[in-house]
Structure 1
Amino acid sequence: MSKFFYGIEDLFVNHLFAPYDFFRFTHSWWGANSINWIFFVIGFIAMIYWMKQLKIFNDNGEEDKTISSHSYL
């Protein structure tokens, strides 16, 4: 069973996260964190879009806001 977990470790450390090793050795903070900032901007744009969609449905009155809207409540 330990070989299974060592295989998962090898997959992530040596293969999937290998491109991040390039950013580890850059000497600027902005260079090392550029991927994180790109993901942050994409996530922020997605959140704004999601909030706008929720507002559209809320303004149309399409959402069921009763307390017993689900059978398990």
Structure 2
Amino acid sequence: MITNNIFKALGDFFTNVFFAPFEAIRFSDNWWAQSTLSWVFAIIAAGGFIYWMMQIQKFKKAGTE
């Protein structure tokens, strides 16, 4: 029963608290406001991918693959 309550509490937190700003952005008519967060996530992902590729290249050159 405790496990069930924990998962319900987590679901309630993410639905009502964590995603509340996204609900406000969803009903906005401004395209820039809606797309800014997506672009931030895309830039972070691209930066991580570039870092990962540089690390792979460094280890490949060192022969410690």
The bucket for the TM-score relative to the shorter chain is 0.7 to 0.9
Paired position in structure 2 for 1:46: 48
Alignment: residue pair count:
62
Q: Going by fraction, where is helix more abundant, 1 or 2?
A: 2
Whose Rg is larger? 1
Percent of paired sites with the same residue: 37
Instruction: Report 1 or 2 for greater relative contact order, CA contacts < 8 Å, sequence distance ≥ 6.
Output: 2
Q: Distance in 2 between matches of 1:6 and 1:45?
A: 35
CA shift digits 1:22-67 (9 cap, x unpaired)? 211211223112111101101101100110111011011112xxxx
Gaps of 5+ in 2: none
TM-score relative to the length of structure 1: 0.70
1:19 corresponds, among 3, 18, 21, to 21
Gaps of 5+ in 1: 64-73
CA shift digits 1:10-32 (9 cap, x unpaired)? 11111111121221121122311
TM-score relative to the length of structure 2: 0.77
